[in-house]
Structure formats: structure tokens, C-alpha cells
Amino acid sequence: MAELIDGKSVAEGVVRRVKALTIELMEKGAQKPGLAVVIVGEDPASQVYVASKSRTAKECGFHSVQHTLPAEMSEQELLAIIGELNADPGINGILVQLPLPGHIDAGKVIQAIAPQKDVDGFHFINVGKLGTGELETAFVPCTPAGSMLLIERVRGKDLSGLNAVVVGRSNIVGKPMANLLLAANCTVTVAHSRTKDLAALARTADILVAAVGRPEMVRGDWVKPGATVIDVGINRIAAPEKGEGKTRLVGDVAYAEAAKTAGAITPVPGGVGPMTIAMLMANTLASAYLAAG
């Protein structure tokens, strides 16, 4: 059976380190790191994620502000709030929770965030830095950054020459994940909905990252023996075995099957999910250190 990669425990370690470094920063006379989380509308999953981000920020000793805004607000009003946060010296990180309501251009809003406060790593400047290997000064998107940390825990820092297959090509996970693996000298293939014979391709992977948002799509016989499997999916599905109307969370990987063949695998929940929030804290702290000079 595969080693279970305990993302919850690794994430707790990251948060502990962020807390300690926050105290060190303040002992030097700097202000608290400030994180602003902006949510527009009432998507229930987004509300849960955002509450968790704000709570962890407080736990880290940050100045944490949350803007909960109505779904009907205009793009212009949202851009004005971003402008205020950009200008606020008490704020080091700005996160606008996605998805945004359809009448708001998410691309325009993301590009309005000051790149030095873009702790999600979605601004063109940060995307470009990651793409060109300027990792020292880039904000790297939190989910791929956290996934990378878990991969290094299992395989060590030298991933040179390993075959990595990333299933999914989103701007939030798939593409930045591929860039991080490439920067680590992996041979990287990005697969997606049009990929031919995905199962055969997946079987070539020493590192298999699933980020498609399709419950249990990656089956056990897609996994190369000994592979490291990172499951980014968080899907809520019906669980009639728990009672009528009950649900449960599953990943993009059929866990029970894949765990028989993989060398190591992340569970859902408790794998990549907690790492995303921990890396957001790490990015916000890094931004505060840069601002303090």
C-alpha cells in the first residue's frame, strides 16, 4: 500500500513557521503582515474556503480583513475596492476569491491587483516570472506551490529527469504546476480533455498530478507502480450509504484503487487542500518581509 501524504500535518508545520517568522518580523519593528480576502456573491464552497483563509491568517498573527460583497455589485465598484487595498500600506496580500459573478471580468480584476500584493500569483507579472524561471521573486499560485512541497517531502528536492504528468490545464493549477515541475527539471506533459489515451499517458508518470475537477476520474490502473500521486480535486458527491441527502468529498483520483499501486498518494480531504491555505500565509509573509525591506 502507498504511503499516505499527510498534507494537514505538513500544512500545520508551514503555519507554525509562518507564525514564528511573523513574530521575528514584528520584533524588528515592522507592522503585522496584512491579508485582505475579497469575496463577491454567495457561492457556498467559496464561503467555506474564504472563512478558512481569514481564520488561518488570524492564527498566524496577521492583520486579516475580509470584504464580503453582494453578487450584484458592479465591476467598477470592485475595481475601486482593489484600488484602495493596493494603496493601503497595512495590506501586503490581496486575494479575490474565484469564481466571480458572470457580469464581472475576472481577468480585469486580477490584473488590477498590484503585482507585489498578488499573493495568489495570478497577475501577468507573476505568471511571467514563473514561466521564465524567476522563482526567487515570483508569487507562485498557492495550490501548485503546496503540491510541490508535498512532492519534495516524498521524493526529496532532486526531481531531475522524472516523468511528470499534469492532468488539467487551468491557470490556477495545471499550468503553474507544469511550470514548477519543469523548473525542477522534470520531463513534463500536460494532459487535458482532448488528450488521446490519457490512461496510457498517465502510466508513464513518476509524478501524477490530477487537477480536473472530475470525481474519481483517475483509476487505479492509470498509476505506474511506485508513482507519487497528487490529487488536487475536491468534489462533493452524493453518499446515499451515509443516509438520504448526505454527501462526501472525493478527489479526482479513485483513492482506494490508486493507493494499491502508488508509492505515495495524497488523501482528500487532508492532502493538498490544507497546503493551499498554508502557502497563502507563506506568500503573504514573504510580501510583508519584502515591504519591510
Our finding on whether 95 is near ligand GUN (CB under 6 A) is yes
Binding window for ligand GUN (CB under 6 A); candidates: 20-28, 96-104, 214-222, 225-233: 96-104
| Residue 95 Cβ vs ligand GUN, minimum distance, rounded to whole Å | 5
Q: Is the dihedral of CA 204, 207, 260, 143 positive or negative?
A: negative
Q: Return the beta strands (E) in 44-104 as ranges.
A: 63-69, 93-96
255 to 126, 170, 222, 250, 258: CA distances (angstroms): 33, 22, 12, 8, 5
**Catalytic site includes residue 231:** no
The answer to whether residues 216 and 251 touch, using CB atoms and an 8 Å cutoff, is yes
169 is in an annotated binding site: yes
83 is in an annotated binding site: no
- Longest Cα separation, the chain: 57
Which of 254, 246, 249 is CA-nearest to residue 235?
A: 249
Our finding on whether 188 is near ligand GUN (CB under 6 A) is no
Our finding on whether 231 is near ligand GUN (CB under 6 A) is no
**Catalytic site includes residue 97:** yes
| Residue 120 Cβ vs ligand GUN, minimum distance, rounded to whole Å | 5
**Closest to ligand GUN by CB, 11 or 96:** 96
Rounded CA-CA distance 125/143 in Å is 18
Residue of 56, 92, 97, 126 interacting with ligand GUN (CB under 6 A): 97
**Catalytic site includes residue 120:** yes
Residue of 22, 64, 126, 143 interacting with ligand GUN (CB under 6 A): 143
| Residue 141 Cβ vs ligand GUN, minimum distance, rounded to whole Å | 6
**Set 28, 66, 88, 97: catalytic member:** 97
**Set 118, 120, 231, 252: catalytic member:** 120
193 is in an annotated binding site: no
Give the DSSP H or E segment for 235. Answer: strand 235-238
- Burial (CB count <10 Å: 0-12, 13-18, 19+), residue 241: exposed
**Closest to ligand GUN by CB, 142 or 212:** 142
Binding-site residue ranges for NADP(+): 168-170, 234
